[in-house]
Amino acid sequence: MSAAPLLEVEHLSKSYGGVHAVQDVSFSLVPGEMLAMIGPNGAGKSTCFNMVGGQIPAGSGRVRIDGRDVSGLSPRQIWRLGVGRTFQVAQVFKSMTVRENVQSVFASRESGWGFFARAGSAHRAEAEAVLGLIGMADFADRPCADMAYGDVKRLELAMALANDPKLLLMDEPAAGMAPLERVELMGLTARIAKERQIGVLFTEHDMDVVFAHADRMMVLNRGQLIAEGKPEDVRQDPQVRAVYLGEGLVYDQAAAARRANA
């Protein structure tokens, strides 16, 4: 790794009551890198994401973005540092049109009250440029409420990109999308990330997507990081295979029992 890390996570932990949702997780991410975080449901992926994005406060440990400690910062302060994020369940402004959604993001960037301008015409070109980037220019005037879920997910990506971020946090970006759509969305994300040198941290359940686009991946199980490295290495890791394919204990026991009976 030659470049200075964009995101550094050190000994991050979080407990809910007695449950250790995330335990002592450390990793880092350089600009332009696609880092996948995988793991079974309940492994702590979303908790990790929300701690990095500021949605929930970190229990202990440290998160640094571009060398700056972001502990205790609110999501909007973290956004101002150049972090875009998408959510597991897409969060968009569904009473607005597609273009207005992106325009709202630009409206938030302005200082001042914003009482006097007409927002409908402000940042119109910029919003359309962002929509064009993800291939949604034709959809600009459509009400968000009419959109298919896959397109809502893409709109969310457009909103995250509107801030010209250095870091993208994508929590299951392709969940709920049709298979081909997923592949295209992640291909698009990977291309934009490479072009603009955006670091992308994403979680995904679709292993095809992960192996196709991740530069590096890490595996979380029960809050702990159990493997990290190149996708092909992680794939061979016995611990990871055990988590994903099961350790075969039940099967082995049943087989043993059958043998004993025979």
Task: Give the footprint of other proteins on this chain (CB under 8 A).
Answer: 53, 55, 74-76, 79-80, 85, 87, 91-97, 100, 103-105, 107-110, 113-120, 122, 135-136, 138-139, 143-148, 150-151, 154, 156, 159-160, 162-163, 178-181, 184, 208
Cα end-to-end distance, the chain, whole Å: 57
Least distance (Å) from other proteins to the CB of residue 203?
A: 16
Least distance (Å) from other proteins to the CB of residue 238?
A: 27
Least distance (Å) from other proteins to the CB of residue 121?
A: 10
Least distance (Å) from other proteins to the CB of residue 255?
A: 32
Closest CB to other proteins among residues 202, 225: 202
Least distance (Å) from other proteins to the CB of residue 178?
A: 4
Least distance (Å) from other proteins to the CB of residue 79?
A: 4
Least distance (Å) from other proteins to the CB of residue 78?
A: 8
Q: CA torsion 78→80→81→83, rounded to 10°? A: 70
Closest CB to other proteins among residues 105, 220: 105
Closest CB to other proteins among residues 40, 187: 187
Our measurement of the distance from residue 202's CA atom to the centroid of its chain's CA atoms, rounded to an integer in Å, reads 4
Closest to 92 measured CA to CA, from 153, 141, 39: 153
Closest to 52 measured CA to CA, from 168, 225, 214: 168
Closest CB to other proteins among residues 26, 104: 104
Closest CB to other proteins among residues 74, 236: 74
252, 258 contact by CB (below 8 A): no
Closest to 246 measured CA to CA, from 40, 43, 44: 40
DSSP state of 163: T
Closest CB to other proteins among residues 116, 262: 116
| CA separation for the pair 211, 219 (Å, rounded) | 13
144, 96 contact by CB (below 8 A): yes
Closest CB to other proteins among residues 209, 240: 209
Tokens for 139, please give them. Answer: 């959809």
| CA separation for the pair 146, 139 (Å, rounded) | 11
Closest to 167 measured CA to CA, from 106, 93, 228, 80: 80
